[in-house]
Structure 1
Amino acid sequence: MNKRQSRVFAIVATGLAAVAFIGLTLHSHTRFDDLTNAADITPEVTQGKDVWHKYNCINCHTLFGEGAYYAPDLTKIAQHRGEAYLKAYMRDPSQFYDEQRHRRLMPTQNLSDVEIENLVRFLDWVSKVDNQGWPPRPILVAGGTTIVAAQGTAAGAAEAGTVRPVRADSDPRAIGENLFGTAVPVCTACHSLQPGVQLAGPSLAGMAERAARTIASPDYTGSATDVEGYIRESIVSPSAHLVPGAMFSADGTSFMPNTYADTLTGEQIDQLAAFLASMK
């Protein structure tokens, strides 16, 4: 290739690249409203964004991976935690930590009820933006230490001897084990399978024995009659029975999301319950 041919090739290649770039940019702009759910941007969502900036939340947290990395990314926090948890947490973060043991890092911002409501609406809108799978996994924070969800998975618990290993794909427990790490919201965002590891929700180690004791208790307010029924009830109607004194509910509402009946089929819920009931 001589100099003239090289020059022509460079000009043509640059032109084609520029056309492709402009075309992709224009196409992206036509998709922004759909990808960001622009139709769902209500005045409350906008005001919630203002609260986010007013209190400099981005100085510690990230959205879509943008911001500071001092605290967890909150892109999907509304799906992982749910409205009841977020509202209680924002009112008083100290209730979720033992400062002497965990070194509470989240300051109490003294937000008004309106600010909390709007901020929750904003985070809910953020969680529904099509972000192409980012963040790739939920990041959990416990005891002042950032850990990835893999540490709370069934595989890790099996190594610790807290869950009966199941491998056959046809076994409902095996399918339930997979659902535990893939359901939306993902269970591992709030629950560990290892004894004593409390996240946003209680550890599920020893779930079978604990469920049996709860059903037998005169204080039980649900309608389940066996262990798997209790677990199923906890997944579908988490506020049916609230554990007295536990910091996993507020104002008579469990922090557990109540959307699994919509996102999972009845068969999937049974498989998840079968897996959790296998933990002794």
Structure 2
Amino acid sequence: MNNRQARLFAIGSTAFAAILFLGMTVDSHRQFPELTNADKITPEVVHGKDVWHKYNCINCHTLFGEGAYYAPDLTKITQHRGEAYLHAYMRDPSKFYDENKHRRLMPKQDLSEKEIVDLVTFLGWVSEVDNQNWPPRPILVTGGFSQAASAAPAVASPGSTPVNSDSDPRALGEQVFASAVPTCKACHSLTPGADGAGPSLAGVVTRTEELLASGEYQGKAKDVEAYLHESIVEPSAHLVTGDMYSAGGTSFMPNSYAESLSEEQIDQLVAFLATLK
């Protein structure tokens, strides 16, 4: 290749790359309104964004993987927690952490109720943005990450009855535990004593038996399996003691599983939880 050919090749390559980049940019902007649900950007969402900036939330947290990486990425937080939990958390984070144990205690910002509601509304809008599965690792308790696309093969958890067959309802229930939306693993640990946004489920069968026999139970279940089923589809039927689990008579656990899971999936999930002695 002589100098003239090299020059033409460089000019042509640069022009092609520039046209390709311009085309991709135009196409991206064409898709942005749909990908970001621009029609759902209400005044409350805008004010919530302003609250996010006003209190410098990005100094610790991240959205879409961008931020300080000191505290969890909040891109999908409303799908993992729910509005009731987030409202109570923002009012007084100290109720949700043991500072001596967790150390990274979120400061109390003294947000107004309007600021809290609109900030949660903003985060709800963020969670619905089609971000092409980024970031790929939703926040969980005990430092783990869920598998968004599919559940891992069933592995016996501490204090559980071994589950070995993929055709076993218990094994299928463990997959539901990992893949339900919101994923159960985002709030519940299977490690004894590792309470998160929800209590650890290690030993849940034993605790349920004790609860049902104590006279303090407030729901309608008569046995362990019925209690586990009730806890999934009607979480406020009986409230677990502790400010970090409920407020105003309402459980922080999402009440959407009766709609998002089939009855068969719920039965499989109950079968798995019933192995956690």
What TM-score results when the alignment is normalised by the length of structure 2? 0.91
Structure 1 stretches lacking a partner, 5+ long = none
Q: Is the 8 A contact 1:154 1:163 kept in 2?
A: no
Distance (Å, rounded) in 2 between the aligned partners of 1:16 and 1:101: 57
- Letter matched to residue 52 of structure 1: W
Q: CA distance change for structure 1 residues 136 and 180 in 2, over 3 Å: closer, same or farther? A: same
Q: Say whether residues 1:3 and 2:16 are aligned partners.
A: no
Question: Which residue in the other structure is 1:108 paired with?
Answer: 108
Distance 1:149 1:162, change over 3 A: farther
- 1:240 CA displacement: 1.2
Instruction: Name the TM-score, length of structure 1 as normaliser.
Output: 0.90
Point out the more displaced range, 9-18 or 51-60: 9-18
Does residue 1:272 correspond to 2:269, yes or no?
yes
Task: Give the secondary-structure state (helix, strand or coil) at the position aligned to 1:195.
Answer: coil
Quote the residue 1:56 is aligned against: 56
Aligned match for 2:203, one of 198, 206, 226: 206
More displaced, 12-21 or 259-268?
12-21
CA shift for structure 1 position 70: 1.2
Quote the offset at 1:104 in angstroms.
4.6
**Which residue of 2 is the match for residue 243 of structure 1?**
240
RMSD: 2.1
**Residues 274, 255 of structure 1: alpha-carbon distance in 2 compared, 3 angstrom cutoff:** same
Q: Secondary structure at the match of 1:74?
A: coil
Which structure 2 residue ranges, 5 or more long, are not aligned? none
Secondary structure at 1:158's aligned position in 2? coil
Matches within 5 A, 1:30-179: 30-140=30-140, 147-149=143-145, 158=156, 161-179=158-176
Please tell me whether the aligned partners of residues 80 and 189 of structure 1 are also in contact (alpha carbons under 8 angstroms). Answer: yes
In the alignment, the residues of structure 1 paired with residue 141 and residue 271 of structure 2 have an alpha-carbon distance, to the nearest angstrom, of 28
CA distance in 2, matches of 1:246, 1:208: 23
User: Is residue 141–residue 185 contact of structure 2 (8 Å, CA) maintained in 1?
Assistant: no
Map of 1:252 onto structure 2: 249
Counting aligned pairs with the same residue, the percent is: 66
